[in-house]
Structure 1
């Protein structure tokens, strides 16, 4: 049976959303990030990334991790791409070329978008420093967001003119910047795409569980 380790308030949302889309049975083990706990090694601490039981799964002490009938894999993008290829149907690749494109877009978002998008999410627009930080990050995101806008104008999705794991991986990274509306107001294709992705029942099911977790 498939087991996914990691709380919903983490990068685990990527494989957890995919599992909802695929409608495959899986066991969820809510491992929390150690940095969120005052004392992760306390006897009454919840299972976290430094707990011995999780370190036996992932000695890198990061979430998410996956165990698929004995095959253990780490890193959210790798897990999602693996699950899509094994179980995915329309969500997974239909050719080696599509697989390469799904990897390409996932890595593009991880390397070119995620750092600045996370900074936008964590910055406070109510402070001058927060506003300044967001403006710097927004300028850095112009090039990758323009590239997404141009690509999405053509087919509406990232690969194969259909919703795939590439859309899940990239949408969950772009989401970090979604609170800063100017990045989307001038990019209608990008805005329509992420709204379309987040309107899917799989995303809504994942998001409901995420919101039920303590912040």
Structure 2
């Protein structure tokens, strides 16, 4: 364990922040949470830009070691402080599958979620059926990946499940119906149960509900 708590610059509804925070809970890793209000530009102060010129959250400071991008932080946590490698296996083929799932979420599933919902949440635009079909296509691919697997990369929970469940929980909070994807639906329930002891409701569900509340604003 680190000599002092790892500082994490975060905002509660941020999906990447929630994934990092749950990973830390699973690892019993203490975080010094620094609330960073990006709506008021707290991520663009000179001090923050010196630390992270890309001015994104989450940003991590582990006793002077600075890192951003949530999936990189999650992998670092396991590599540096995990009691074992179960969340991010060292075996090359197993790790490659986890990496593929992480990249699938980043470049496809989460991206398509953003393309559909970011204009609605932040600009009041109408629901776009074409973008919704693209998201549903990505969910179909995830459904296929889960065939014969308990979790997205195999029989055990990994950081890929943690990052993907944040995406799916956002969809759930926003009222998106993914029940036609049976494997995804079953995995979602299974993974929620797995993460329940690690602040799933407190960290993830509450954050997703904050995001969803933007839909209700005039």
Per the TM superposition, whether the score is higher than 0.5 is: yes
Q: Residues 116 and 213 of structure 1: is their aligned pair in 2 closer, same or farther, counting only changes over 3 Å?
A: closer
- Answering whether residue 77 of structure 2 is matched by residue 83 of structure 1, we say yes
Residue 208 and residue 137 in structure 1: after superposition, are their counterparts in 2 closer, same or farther (change >3 A)? Answer: closer
Q: Are 1:6 and 2:10 an aligned pair?
A: yes
Displacement, 1:112?
0.9
Bigger shift: residues 158-167 or 111-120: 111-120
For each residue in 1:172-200, what CA deviation from the matched residue of structure 2 results, as whole angstroms up to 9, or x when unmatched?
22333333443x12111101212332332
Q: Distance in 2 between matches of 1:24 and 1:59?
A: 26
Q: Aligned runs of 1:22-37 on 2, under 5 Å?
A: 22-33=27-38, 36-37=39-40
Q: State the number of aligned residues.
A: 199
Cα pair distance change 1:110/1:212, threshold 3 Å: closer
Q: How far did residue 123 of structure 1 move?
A: 5.8
Q: In structure 1, what is the equivalent of residue 21 of structure 2?
A: 16
The alignment yields a C-alpha RMSD, in angstroms, of 2.7
| CA pair 158-211 structure 1, distance change in 2 beyond 3 A | closer
**How far apart, in 2, do the equivalents of 1:212 and 1:193 lie?**
20
Asked whether the equivalents of residues 20 and 205 of structure 1 are also in contact (C-alpha less than 8 Å), the reply is no
For residues 205 and 104 of structure 2, the distance between their equivalents in structure 1, rounded to whole angstroms, comes to 28
Change (3 A) 1:180 1:116: farther
- Unaligned residue ranges in structure 2 (runs of 5+): 214-218
CA distance in 2, matches of 1:209, 1:138: 24
Which residue, 95, 104, 118 being the options, matches 1:108? 104
